[in-house]
Every structure is written in structure tokens, then in C-alpha cells.
Amino acid sequence: MTDSELHQFFENFVRTLHSRGVVCGITSGLACVHYGVAETTKDCDLLCHPGSFDTLLTLLAETKISGSPCHYRGHISPPLDARWHQGGWTSHFQWGSRPEFTTLDVFGHALRESSPWQDDIAGLYANENVVAEMKRTDRDKDWPYVTSLGVALLHARDPRGWLHLFDADSISEMLEAYAIPDELLAARPALQLAAQRDPALQHALLAERYFWKELDRLRISICRVALRPYVMAMGRENITATSSFEEEHAVRLACAEKTLEKHPVRRYGVERMIEDARTSTAAFVNPALIRWLPDVRPHFRFLAS
């Protein structure tokens, strides 16, 4: 399947979900391609309202690619069930087998969502604000997309774009055309340096980016520890290539109910995770830059509830 065919497949998949009343939208890499800030991707990330998971499961069981049915991917994927997705877990699927296979990752909540992602769906896709928040990962390759999406938001007259610019030159360029609203100066302190044309901006942006990367690294580490008993339990199950999708789902659900913590980040402590990330950042950058870090608690509110 070519990149263009894959793109079309997932768009049609989402159209079918919409026709069945499902609130969902494509996000992450494929959305970056849609918005013109990336050239290609082989994977699809899908935001889906947890209340519609049963409908999504039915469509996954029905859908084949080149004759290949859908399966959960490996032993590490939690089941597609609202009880775990409310705690920040994601579910992973694939069609076909290595080296040629097509993947789909499903999120009930957008990672680092500052507001309900359902309010920011643009047709088949999550809008640039949601995608930019999800791209604040621990991977260096994702960060240019964050800034590009922020620029796109500003050009669309959405001031939230200021929250996603992590390149000092891009900020200077945008300041020539757009003003920074006062409420965003308060929400993101580093923008105060931008408004003042302070040369410390570049260092503050690097500190902020490192802070976000540490938050993602810690979240992944917390989830990885919580996942171990589930992975071991799944390894003991007799799932074969001939097992049906429904059988796979039932087995994962049974294993998760026995072994998988539903809210690992909440159990660890959101405030503790944030403080750990601040401490790590302070050890890596000039401690004087810590004052310019934003209050990130709104981005993890759903994990704490």
C-alpha cells in the first residue's frame, strides 16, 4: 500500500466511524501530513471518545487490508477499554505482519490535552492545537512539528499558536504580524521575554522544551513499570495467528482486569511527576531559567482525576 493509499484508507476509516456516530479524529503524524508540516508517515494515531470504543472495536473486527484482518500489536497493548484509557493508556493495532504492516494507535485522551480534544476536531482530523500538544514528546524529531503547527495556528488567527513556538527566530517573525494576548503571557512566562525582545528567550525556550521532554520521559517510565505484570500475563496466554480479533480482545481484557493498573500516573502522583521533571530540568539548565517554565498542571488534569 502506497503512502497515498494508506492516507486514503484511514480517512475512509474515520468517515465510516463518523457515519456510525463516533466522535473521533486523526492526530499526530498523519495529521502533520494533512496540515502540510510533514511529508509522509506509515502510521495512524486516532483520537476516539471512550464512549464509542464498542463501535470502533466492531469496525476493527470487520476491516481487512489486502485480505489481512486486524490484530492487537504484540503483548504490550492494553485493551481498548474506557477504564484504562481514562488513566492515559493507549491501544495498538496492526494489519499484516513484518516487515510490511499497517499500524493504528488509539487514544481515548489526547496526551497533554489542555482542554477536551473533542472541541477541536476539524473534519476528519484533530486540529493543530491538539496535534501540537501531542507532539511535545521526549523525541527530538517531533519538536520542529510543534513550532510549525504553532505558526499555522497563528496564520489561521488562532492565538493559541503562541503556546507552541519553540524557535526564537519563528517567534521574532510572528511578532512582526501578531500580538501576544495578555492571558498567554501569563500562561507561558517565556513569552514575556519574547515581548521584551530579551536575548534570554532562546535559553528559556531550550529549558522549557527540556522540561516537556522530561515530563514525557517520566510518564512513559511510570507506565512501563505498571505494564510489566500485564505483559508477563499476556505472554502466558495462548494467542495464535488464527485467533479472532474478538478472542484477542477478550484475553487482553481478562489479563488487564487482573494485572494492569488503571491509573498509573495518578497513583505515582501528577504533582510528584511534575516536580521530578522540574528538578531534572534544573540540574540540566541554568537554574535561573526555571522561573520561565509554564504551569503544566492543566495538561495533566485528566490523569489526576
* Residue-level pLDDT, tens digit, the chain, 305 residues: 788 888 999 999 999 999 999 999 999 999 999 999 988 777 899 999 999 999 999 999 999 998 999 999 988 999 999 999 999 999 999 998 766 789 999 999 999 999 999 999 999 999 999 999 999 999 999 999 999 999 999 999 999 999 999 999 999 999 999 999 999 999 999 999 999 999 999 999 999 999 999 999 999 999 999 999 999 999 999 887 778 999 999 999 999 999 999 999 999 999 999 999 999 999 999 999 999 999 999 999 999 98
- 120 contacts 113 by C-beta, under 8 angstroms: no
Structural domain count of the chain: 1
The beta-strand segments (E) located in the chain are 24-27, 43-48, 64-65, 68-72, 90-97, 100-107, 121-122, 125-126
Rounded Cα distance, 169 and 172, in Å? 5
Rounded Cα distance, 277 and 136, in Å? 14
Please give the single-letter amino acid code of residue 23.
V
Range of the domain at 75: 3-107
Please give the angle made by the CA atoms of 19, 24 and 25, to the nearest 5 degrees: 110
135 falls within a domain: no
The domain spanning residue 72 has which CATH number? 3.30.460
- Residue 238: the pLDDT is 82
23 falls within a domain: yes
192 falls within a domain: no
- Residue 240: the pLDDT is 76
Rounded Cα distance, 238 and 163, in Å? 48
- CA 42, distance to chain mean position in Å, is 16
273 falls within a domain: no
189 falls within a domain: no
258 falls within a domain: no
- Residue 99: the pLDDT is 61
269 falls within a domain: no
Please give the angle made by the CA atoms of 260, 87 and 71, to the nearest 5 degrees: 60
The pTM of the full predicted model, rounded to 2 decimals, is: 0.95
- Residue 5: the pLDDT is 87
- Residue 41: the pLDDT is 79
- Residue 239: the pLDDT is 81
227 falls within a domain: no
